[in-house]
Amino acid sequence: MARLVKSGEMFAKTAAELRPMLVVDAGKAHLAKSEELFEKVRVAMLRVGGLGLQGKAVEANTILVKELRPIQQDLIKELRGFADLQSKLNAKAMDEANAAYKSAVNFMLGLSGAAIALGALLAWLITRSIVMPVRQAVAIADAIARGDLSTRIEVIGRDESADLLRALEKMTAVLDALVAAQAEMAKQHEAGWVDEVMPVEKFQGKFAQVAQSVNSLVAAHIAVKMRVVEVITHYANGDLTGDMDRLPGKKARITEAIDAVKASLVKVVTEIRESTDSINTASKEIAQGNADLSQRTEEQASSLEETASSMEQLTSTVKQNSENAKQANQLAISASGVAVRGGAVMGEVVATMEQISGSSRKIADIISVIDGIAFQTNILALNAAVEAARAGEQGRGFAVVATEVRNLAQRSAAAAKEIKTLIGDSVEKVDLGSKLVGQAGATIEEVVQSVKRVTDIMSEISAASMEQSAGIEQVNTAVTQMDEVTQQNAALVEQAAAAAESLQEQAEVLARSVSVFRLQAGSAQHVNAHVNTPTAVERRGPHRAANVARITPMSASTKPIRGAARTRASLAAGATPGASADKPSGRPARAVNANEEWEAF
């Protein structure tokens, strides 16, 4: 009975293992029928065994002969049919395996090509999905480092790269707000609203510290400026007794500058007071020199005529030189353009060589992948051959297939190794070519820089020649004008005497104007108080016409004459040689505000 139970368990286990392997409906039907018959046999055997144990041998023999034996025959018949079916299926499978082998070879070749293409595509997509956000983040960080906060950040996805871009976006927004606050404060300060400050409460952490530091810095500078305005206001009102506060650090330069201004003003006022007497004496000496000026003017007129003739010839020569320099400059500019284009082409060649080198390295990587695939295929073929050997006679066909696949894998590995070697040599040669092209590009760049330098030098020469030509023309014109002015200098002698008298009177006015300043020594000091205002006595030079009117003395509200340039301009407008006997030799100076000179100063 134990053997019967064990046999039943073995049959059930074998049937359970065999059932998933059956793909034909007939085989499944044979197995189901066999299980049904075996169950009947098992039940009948249990009945026979039970009767035998009870001593009912006749009944047990009857069941064994009439019931059990027919069922056993049906079971054996069913099992034989199942075995025949499996033999036919095995033969058919062998035929299909041979056909599958041929199609598998073609499929493996196509699959290898598709795997290579798919691997390259996947590598490109993976690299692109990782590198592009990182490149964008690097570009944004570089822009922020350069101070460019206008870069637009596009965040797509929710991975780590997207989190990085979101963080950069937040940082850019905070920096933009900080810059906008600084710009608004600068705008308000420029408009005069110096009490405008940055809103510290809108920022956090170090940004709030930056805003607070900016506010403190601006407040410190404004305090210094307001103190400077206060001191300068005192100086403008004539009070030179005040001093600027002592400031720390480099701000001490402001104190030094204000002190220097004060010292300069004190020195100027003191020198003006001391120079008033000297001006009175000099005005007398000017009148004495007018006689000598008339004789020297005639000699100068003769020399200027000869100088004007020489300047005309020099002007013609310089113009020709300027035209030649201009043409040379145009040729140099053209050569510079050609050199720059050559440098650009060489740069493109260098970039192309670098791209070729990169492509060769990628091909070498792909060949390495193919080599790995061939190695794995070889291992799989070896395992298949081992399994076929275990299968015995039925696995012989699979062993042949595995051997052929292994041979193909070994040939593929050998070919991949040869291609990898060739690609490596190509990469080395491309790298060498890239280095040579880079050296050639550097040489071209040096040539471009040299040509640019030559172009700059030619431009400078051309500009200098043009300026020289213009300068010579101006000198020629000036010499001509000097020739004309020299003819008018006779009338200048007549006016110089009257101007000397007016100069003495204006010196006294200047002394009274300077007396309003209070110096460190005490209250205002009056200059030359002992000097009496001279009576307006008409003085004439040795060659002065009898009817030349003297310049009217100027009051305290009139402005002094500003030198010989204004006098010469008045002569060019009205005075001519020989006309001094018929026309007045001077004109009254225009009246201005008494404080105009010192406000301008």
Give pLDDT, residue 107.
Answer: 60
446 with 343: CB under 8 angstroms? no
Give pLDDT, residue 132.
Answer: 64
198 with 182: CB under 8 angstroms? yes
Burial class (CB in 10 A: 0-12, 13-18, 19+), 122: exposed
pLDDT confidence of 349, banded at 50, 70, 90? Answer: confident
pLDDT confidence of 561, banded at 50, 70, 90? Answer: very low
Give pLDDT, residue 528.
Answer: 41
pLDDT of 8 over the 70 cut: no
Rounded Cα distance between 537 and 108, Å, is 129
Backbone dihedral angles phi then psi of residue 544, each to the nearest 5 degrees: -80, 140
- 90 domain-assigned: yes
Rounded Cα distance between 516 and 62, Å, is 160
pLDDT of 519 over the 80 cut: no
Give pLDDT, residue 248.
Answer: 75
- 38 domain-assigned: yes
Residue of higher predicted confidence among 421 and 513: 421
- DSSP assignment of 7-50 equals HHHHHHHHHHHHGGG--SHHHHHHHHHHHHHHHHHHHHHHHHHH
Taking residues 9-26, report their average pLDDT: 70
Give pLDDT, residue 527.
Answer: 39
pLDDT of 541 over the 70 cut: no
In Å, what is the CA distance from 34 to each residue of 13, 64, 82, 382? 13, 19, 9, 38
Q: Which sign does the torsion angle of CA 95, 97, 100, 102 carry?
A: negative
pLDDT confidence of 121, banded at 50, 70, 90? Answer: low
Give pLDDT, residue 61.
Answer: 72
Burial class (CB in 10 A: 0-12, 13-18, 19+), 489: buried
Rounded Cα distance between 414 and 416, Å, is 5
Give pLDDT, residue 601.
Answer: 32
For 212, the token pair is 């607070």
pLDDT confidence of 240, banded at 50, 70, 90? Answer: confident
pLDDT of 145 over the 80 cut: no
Residues facing 558 on adjacent strands: 591
- 210 domain-assigned: no
Give pLDDT, residue 586.
Answer: 39
Give the residue numbers spanning the domain of 94.
2-101
Rounded Cα distance between 262 and 240, Å, is 7
Mean pLDDT of the chain: 68
Rounded Cα distance between 363 and 142, Å, is 32
* pLDDT tens column, 419-475: 778 777 777 777 777 777 777 777 777 777 777 777 788 778 777 777 777 777 787
Taking residues 135-140, report their average pLDDT: 67
Give pLDDT, residue 595.
Answer: 39
- DSSP assignment of 162-206 equals HHHHHHHHHHHHHHHHHHHHHHHHHHHHHTT-TT----GGG--HH
- 546 domain-assigned: no
Taking residues 173-196, report their average pLDDT: 78
- DSSP assignment of 451-498 equals HHHHHHHHHHHHHHHHHHHHHHHHHHHHHHHHHHHHHHHHHHHHHHHH
DSSP 585: S
pLDDT-above-90 percentage for the chain:
0
- 298 domain-assigned: no
Burial class (CB in 10 A: 0-12, 13-18, 19+), 172: buried
Residues facing 518 on adjacent strands: 239
**Which residue, among 458, 541, 443, 450, has the nearest Cα to 500 in the 3D structure?**
541
Give pLDDT, residue 461.
Answer: 79
Backbone dihedral angles phi then psi of residue 523, each to the nearest 5 degrees: -75, 180
Please give the radius of gyration of the chain, using alpha carbons only, rounded to the nearest integer: 57
pLDDT confidence of 5, banded at 50, 70, 90? Answer: low
Give pLDDT, residue 110.
Answer: 61
C-beta contacts of 190-193 below 8 A and 24+ residues apart? none
* pLDDT tens column, 281-316: 777 777 677 667 766 776 776 777 777 777 777 777
Number of separate domains in the chain: 1
- 478 domain-assigned: no
- 97 domain-assigned: yes
pLDDT of 22 over the 80 cut: no
**Which residue, among 39, 40, 33, 42, has the nearest Cα to 79 in the 3D structure?**
33
**Chain CA centroid to CA 322, Å:** 41
Region of 192 please: left (phi>0), alpha (psi -120 to 50) or beta.
left
Give pLDDT, residue 267.
Answer: 82
For 510, the token pair is 């200047």
Of 31-40, 70-79, 524-533, the poorest mean pLDDT is in 524-533
- 27 domain-assigned: yes
pLDDT confidence of 24, banded at 50, 70, 90? Answer: low
Of 103-117, 335-349, 367-381, the poorest mean pLDDT is in 103-117
Rounded Cα distance between 69 and 37, Å, is 11
Give pLDDT, residue 596.
Answer: 39
For 396, the token pair is 């012989």
